[in-house]
Chain A
Amino acid sequence: MSDNNTKLTKEEERLFGDLMPEELNEIIQSGLNRRHFVKLIGLASAGLLTSHLIGAEQLFARAIDMEIEDLPPIAIENGVTVNLKVNSVGKIVLIDSRTTLLDTLRERLRLTGSKKGCDHGQCGACTVILDGNRVLSCLTLAASCEGKSVITIEGLARNNELNPMQSAFLKHDGFQCGFCTPGQICSAVALMKEAKEGQASYVSTNIRETEVGMMLSDDEIAERMSGNICRCGAYPNIVAAIKEAQTGKNIEQTWLFAG
């Protein structure tokens, strides 16, 4: 994967820069905070762009080097102490045995990038990467994660450089409201590994032979990403973003700036 082609385009940089000249770096590094948010809301003339940027905040989420803060338990029945690695940082949490991995991340570790969409394994918004594989954190008990390593959307960027998949989603506008985006991106990042290994899908045509390092067609991407629902219907842009991240080549954008 090449980073060169997945950076923000000049138009996008100008768009962000015009809007928030002094805070752009800060947003990229540590996410959108209340001060930025209030300022964005104040920019009445950029009303549409505001909602776009709130979506973009899901892409950046929080940088990996931020301190993960534990929260005190409120009421615990059948407590289980779990050691797990979250975005490469070791954590020990005492949880109620009923707590899902999703609730542990969101409510105990303040990593709210992973979203609770349906909470029943039907939407994919809670997708995280557990020991290298994408899973649904809403149907995973945290108690069963002893010794495991979790990567969430907050852990994908390296040294404040976006993961190429994050840049590709930004470039291709692979979201509208942004709620499904952390799950989409975690899912797509894990998909790159699956394609590299030559894992098959229901639409693969050569089941009996394993093709290592396969390049995914649009149909393959759609089938393999079917566990991530996007209510805004950004699917064509999501497919384009994944294609760009996989090939490292410019993929034609399905949208253009007006004028």
Chain B
Amino acid sequence: MRPFKFTNTKNSSAAINLLDRNPNASFLAGGTNLLDLMKEDVERPDELIDITRLDLTSISSITRGKNAGGVLIGGLGKNTNAANHQLIRKDFPLLTKAILAGASAQIRNMATNGGNLMQRTRCSYFYDTAMPCNKRSPGSGCSAMEGFNRMHAVFGWSNECVAVYPSDMAVALSAMNANINVMQKEGQIRSIAINDFHRLPGNHPEKDNTLNHGELITSIELPKNNFAAHSAYVKVRDRNSYAFALVSVATGLVLDGNKIVSAHIAMGGVAHKPWRASIAEALLRGKAATLANFRLAAEAEMSHAKPLFHNKFKVGLGANTITAALQLASKGTDAVA
């Protein structure tokens, strides 16, 4: 690992100022991804600013204003605590399920909620500094495009990058229309809708998201929703636990009897960001919650997929996973497959 200066602060503004003055500095939160990438020489910060002692770990109900009934989750709280908080388990179980589908107990004890959003792709060519990669080294080319791309994107990729975004948590946040609150220099706060937070690769795959250098994720806001009783997170992977998704689906159904008032569906493992399945959502609105309708909507969504050489299986798998998730959600959040 390359040498770096280690700085520690308990003050958010001080942390932002420290980061802002050094373009090669990084925040250090849980470190589960950053440290790994530094060992691999993919990330090369010359200064780490430890932000784990900032007072941004609480979880609280929003009781007033237009977002009343929602919940505010501290950006530097641990994933384990967010997944297990009573408020989240009771009213936002989809988030609990998604967080618990990711990584291992040890890693969830270390990883922070804001840090989870900042995870970088696990594309093996991004990790391998001997290979070209536009995300790691802009302009060098994409090794995965014609390489081993079984794990890669089927939606929204560009000729520059076919990597997928790895977080499970963010897939649930996408389905729940969360907002990411960030603090800038001088203390201004801006709020970014989760579906605008991560970006598609386009011509700039080196940019994973729309956060600017010098901005700090202070909290994640979950708006109130009506699908706590009918939600599901289904993750399909090469082994049963502790692996990244081939395809995952977060879904919540607002039901009126057997009629679907609204369906909320987001996918992981298929794009450079959590992929909102808006075609399927539109088809399901006002329809009966039946297996046939779930299947039709899922296949309509996946008919727009553009698979690569090794990941054609994700088209069928995606349709099956959406269908299974909708079916589970319609039975109830605690239904067993």
Contacts and interface: CB of A to CB of B under 8 A. Distances in A.
Interface of A: 77-78, 80, 96-98, 100, 119-121, 124, 127, 133-136, 139-141, 143-144, 146, 187, 190-191, 194, 197-202, 204-210, 222-224, 226-228
A190 B48 CA distance: 29
A141 B6 contact: yes
Contact of B90 (A77, A119, A208): A208
B97 A207 contact: yes
B106 A187 contact: yes
B106 A134 contact: yes
B1 A98 contact: yes
B38 to A, nearest CB: 8
25 contacts: A97-B3, A97-B6, A119-B39, A120-B36, A121-B32, A134-B109, A141-B6, A141-B48, A143-B6, A144-B8, A144-B28, A146-B8, A200-B89, A201-B105, A202-B97, A202-B101, A205-B334, A207-B89, A207-B96, A210-B86, A223-B240, A226-B104, A227-B103, A227-B105, A227-B107
A235 to B, nearest CB: 12
Contacts of A98: 1, 3-4
Contacts of A140: 31, 35, 110
* Interface residue SS majority, chain A: loop
* Interface residue SS majority, chain B: mixed
A144 B105 contact: no
Contacts of A223: 240-241
A133 B107 CA distance: 10
In this complex, which of A146, A201, A202 has the most chain B Cβ atoms within 10 angstroms of its Cβ?
A: A202
B242 A227 contact: yes
A207 B90 CA distance: 8
B200 to A, nearest CB: 28
B116 interface: no
Contacts of B52: 144
Contact of A121 (B5, B100, B107, B235): B107
Contact of B104 (A78, A80, A227): A227
Given A139-B107, A207-B96, 13 more contacts: A78-B4, A97-B4, A124-B104, A139-B31, A139-B36, A141-B35, A187-B106, A191-B105, A202-B100, A207-B333, A208-B89, A208-B228, A210-B86
Interface string B75-119: 000001001101001100100110011011111011000000000
A141 B1 CA distance: 12
A139 B108 CA distance: 12
A235 B109 CA distance: 23
